[in-house]
Amino acid sequence: MANRPMAPHLQIWKWGPHMAVSILHRITGDGLALVGLGVLLWWLGAMAAGAEAYAVFAEAMGSPLGLVVLVGLSWAFFSHMMSGLRHFVLDIGAGYELDTNKTWSILAPLLGILLTAGFWALILLR
C-alpha cells in the first residue's frame, strides 16, 4: 500500500466560532423550513377555514408554548439572516482574515439575539 497523505479530519482541526456559526446557519435554515412552513400553512389554513379556525390558531400562538415557537422562529430567522450575510461577504472573497472571520462569527449570532429582542420589544410594547 502506498504512503499517501491522509485528508484532514475533525481530530486535526480546532473548533472555532466560524465552525459553530456555520453549523448554526444550517440548523436555523432547517428549522425555518420545517417549523416555519408548518406554522405558515396552519395560519393560511386557519384564515381560509373561517373565524372559528383562526381563533383556535390565534389562541394556540398566543399561549406560552405558541409564543416560544414564534420567538424561536424569529430568532432562527434573524440568526440565519446574520450568518447568511456573513457567508455572502465570504462568497465575494472578503472577510477571510482570521481576526475578521472570528469577530463576525461571534457577532452574527449575537446580532440575531439583539434583533430578535428588538423585534419582540417592538411588537409587545405597542
Mean pLDDT by 10 residues, the chain (126 residues): 67 81 95 97 97 97 97 97 94 89 94 98 94
Reading the block at residue 2, the C-alpha cell is 502506498
- Assign 8 to helix, strand or coil: coil
Residue with cell 440575531: 112
Under 8 Å between Cβ of 83 and 102: no
Average pLDDT, the chain: 92
Report all structural domains of the chain as residue ranges with CATH numbers, in order of start. 18-124 (1.20.1300.10)
Instruction: Look up the pTM and report it.
Output: 0.85
Q: What count of other Cβ atoms lies within 10 Å of the Cβ of residue 113?
A: 13
